Structure 1
Amino acid sequence: MDISMILCQTSRMLIPDGFPGQRMLVLPRPRAREFLQQEGSLRLVVTDCGYFPKAQSHGRRRIAPIPQAVVLACVDGAGWCETEAGRFDVERGQVVILPPGMPHSYGSDEDNPWTLWWFHVAGPEVAAFLRVADITAATPVRHPRDLYPIVSLMAEVLAWMERDSTTTSLLAASGAAWHALTLLAAERSQPGQREDVIASAVDYLRAHMADRISVPDLAAMASLSASHFSALFRKQMGYPVLQYQTMLRMGRALELLDTTGSTVSAIAAEVGYPDALYFTRQFKKTHGITPREYRDQHKG
């Protein structure tokens, strides 16, 4: 897509004035285009960002799609967003991510106006990244278990953008925005899903790495059918249960190979493989080399 198209924007704001205590920065579009063409720009540019406290009557309605992704973190109050998939309530502690190229609307709750940190990002890879992260028009709201690191990064974006529009500042802002997007991508749960169940299952797998655990066992702990639990786990974690368990075990095996003098057989048993030969096959399938070959490598 042409960079000039990536940066164009058409919208209608529902309130013409600002909000007491607000901060907002809009990057001049010629500078945004220039930065996006620079080598090493991460192919990502923050075009707009801000902080709106108690944003009474705030909202936007974009009938004509814009090529930027819009990220809104609600740290207080409430609001709503709307896409072609329908209307979604937004509560304190939730984050809205609206993909580029799609009509959307959003606004503050009339009785309990939201306080927002927000930014817009443009770049040729943004849309594809959000699709891979399952952030779509049908799933625009995330409920992170810990909003603080995401808001901290959004504040960092704004601070760098307020500083100046030098390449150094724009690189720092785009890096912080990219980090925030990756944290949101890792938070695959949406409001209404049983994210607490999956989080508990992951914690259980980590704490019982050497135990033989079946999908029906985990599902029973969550009071779900095996098929429902499996689908929910894959939706939120991006991998089937047993494949995720293998990833955990292989990661722990690497750590033990690097930090202990334990034999391969002992490490295999510690991560849940009583058969050392089977462990070695699984290790090589995952990492491309055997445990002994990995240990013999020069690292650091």
Structure 2
Amino acid sequence: MMRLKDGFKGEQCIVLPKAITNIIERDPVASSLYITDIGYYPKARHHYRKRTVPIEEYVFIYCVDGKGWYESGDTRYDVGTNQYFILPPGGTHTYAADENNPWTIYWIHFKGSLARYYASGCTRPLDVTPGKASRISARTSLFDEIFMTLKNSFAIESIRYAMASFQHYLASLRYIQQYRAVKGNTGNDIVEIVAHYFAENIERHLTLAEVAAYSGLSASRLSAVFKERTGHSPLNYFNLMKIRRACELLDNTGLKLSQISFKLGIDDQYYFSRLFSKIMGMSPKAYRNRLHNK
């Protein structure tokens, strides 16, 4: 059986140089909670990592699609969509993607005097279930902001900002009810409820049956309501939201088209390009280049 630590199509990864982590360890602001490695693996088929030599960092893994598993000590856990866990330092562990439905994960290695407080109680899988008051898409944007900050600069102010944002990121999970209470909920309007569900699952492939089950309506009734209210079927509306997000990523990041495609739950880059062109009237490349041609 093939086993891979990394090298997945569409992946993103940063390993902070030792010289930078040495600076962070001496910094009074950043040292309390800091990242040493950070990444994103989409549809990580054959992903497998076994550490027999303990490491010093905590390992955070957040599964946003698919399935996987991990072993810590003598206990094995299964992990599904919208679950996360944190492995403690100083021990051996193994984790891997499911062979038939491989996970898409955000992952972070981290250290610092506050690390154990945020990691406490997280050795078992914890749920981050989409709902009317959930803020999954906002949390994902925060991860992207942390990643891009570290990718663009190792200046001390950038590092401090990234690590402060990381504390907010972990706090949004540790204190999830408080994090969600800030937003409130979308009320009882079915179109708003489903649109929010789409936003929270923008990285996934959804079926009409899944969406209908979440809404509490039959597939035919949901389709009729959506068509009447928006002029689009539910899944066409979802595609419009995906392409809107693609435009944001094309405008504001340097991500490759394949990476953007995976971030939208679309495995086939060529299908993504066709869908983008159909909706926007130009290819993703032309859309990105338009800013340089003005």
Partner of 2:141: 152
Matched with 2:69 is 80
Correspondence for 2:153 among 164, 173, 191: 164
Question: Please, which runs of 5 or more residues in structure 2 have no aligned partner?
Answer: 185-294
Alignment of 1:55-70 (within 5 A): 55-70=44-59
Distance 1:157 1:169 in 2: 9
**Which residue in 2 is equivalent to 1:142?**
126
TM-score by structure 2 length? Answer: 0.54
Q: Deviations over 1:257-286 (max 9, x none)?
A: xxxxxxxxxxxxxxxxxxxxxxxxxxxxxx
The 4+ residue runs of structure 1 with deviation greater than 4 A are none
The 3-state SS of whatever aligns with 1:56 is coil
The residue identity in structure 1 corresponding to 2:65 is D
Give how far 1:64 is off.
2.1
Structure 1 residue 99 corresponds to structure 2 residue 83: no
TM-aligned CA distance change 1:17 to 1:187, over 3 Å: closer
Which residue number corresponds to residue 278 of structure 2?
A: none
Cα deviation code 1:4-34 (max 9, x no counterpart) = xxxxxxxxx9415501111111000121121
1:1-300 matches, cutoff 5 A: 14-15=3-4, 18-131=7-120, 134-135=121-122, 137=123, 139=124, 141-145=125-129, 146=134, 147-187=136-176
**What is the deviation of 1:42?**
4.8
Gaps of 5+ in 1: 1-12, 189-198, 204-300
Count of aligned pairs between the two proteins: 173
Deviations 1:125-146 (A, max 9, x none): 3124423xx22x4x2x110233
How many Å separate the matches in 1 of 2:176 and 2:87?
A: 15
Q: Which amino acid aligns with 2:127?
A: H
Residue by residue over 1:117-164, the C-alpha shift from the partner in whole angstroms, topping out at 9 and shown as x without a partner, is 111111133124423xx22x4x2x110233333333222221111112
Relative distance call for 1:149 and 1:85 in structure 2 (3 A) is farther
Q: Secondary structure at the match of 1:64?
A: coil
Aligned-pair RMSD on alpha carbons?
A: 2.4
1:150–1:104: structure 2 CA closer, same or farther, 3 Å change rule? Answer: farther
Q: 1:90 to 1:64 in 2, by over 3 A?
A: same
- Which letter does structure 2 place at the counterpart of 1:102? G
Deviation readout 1:80-120 (Å, 9 max, x if unpaired):
11111511111111112212223221111111111111111
CA–CA separation in structure 2 for the residues paired with 1:154 and 1:99: 21
Given that residues 68 and 103 in structure 2 are in contact (C-alpha distance below 8 angstroms), is that contact kept between their aligned partners in structure 1? Answer: yes
What code does the residue aligned with 2:25 have? Answer: L
User: Aligned equivalents of 2:61 and 2:44: distance in 1?
Assistant: 12
Compute the TM-score of the two structures, normalised by the length of structure 1.
0.53
Q: Which residue type is aligned with residue 126 of structure 2?
A: R
Shift of 1:182: 1.4
Q: CA deviation at 1:55?
A: 0.7
1:41-73 CA-partner distances (Å, limit 9, x unpaired) = 252221111111111111211122212111111
Structure with more relative contact order (C-alpha pairs < 8 Å, separation 6 or more): 2
Select between 86-95 and 41-50 the one with higher mean Cα deviation. Answer: 41-50
> Whose radius of gyration is greater, 1 or 2?
1
Native 8 Å contact 1:119 1:154 kept in 2: no
Which stretch shows the higher mean deviation, 151-160 or 48-57?
A: 151-160
Tell whether the 8 Å contact from 1:36 to 1:44 is kept in structure 2 after alignment.
no
Distance of aligned partners of 1:66 and 1:172 in 2 relative to their CA distance in 1, 3 Å threshold: same
Relative distance call for 1:175 and 1:93 in structure 2 (3 A) is: same
Letter in 2 for 1:144: V
